[in-house]
Amino acid sequence: MPGQLAGSRIAHAEVNALAQLPMGSFADHELYTSVEPCCLCMGAALQTGICPGRRTSGRH
């Protein structure tokens, strides 16, 4: 499936989600995660222009 990095060394959920975005500006979007993103995911979010500063409690 295009945009999926499953099975690779960078198969993090955040990177997979970002890889599926179409080209464009995402400055008004935010990335929500249940834990603090690693450096790879933080860098990928910053490269797309998405604000990576939101964390959820991880509780449903």
Per-residue pLDDT of the chain (60 residues; tens, 9 = 90+): 555 666 677 678 888 888 888 887 787 888 888 788 888 888 888 888 887 666 666 554
Query: What pLDDT shows up at residue 45?
Result: 86
Query: What pLDDT shows up at residue 40?
Result: 83
Residues whose CB is less than 8 angstroms from the CB of residue 56 and which lie 6 or more positions away in sequence, other chains included: 32, 33, 34
If phi over 0 gives left and psi between -120 and 50 gives alpha, with beta otherwise, what is residue 12? beta
Query: What pLDDT shows up at residue 56?
Result: 67
What is the reported pTM? 0.67
Residue the block writes with tokens 């464009």: 24
**HEC assignment per residue over the chain:** CCCCCCCCCCCCHHHHHHHCCCCCCCCCCEEEECCCCCHHHHHHHHHHCCEEEEECCCCC
Query: What pLDDT shows up at residue 16?
Result: 81
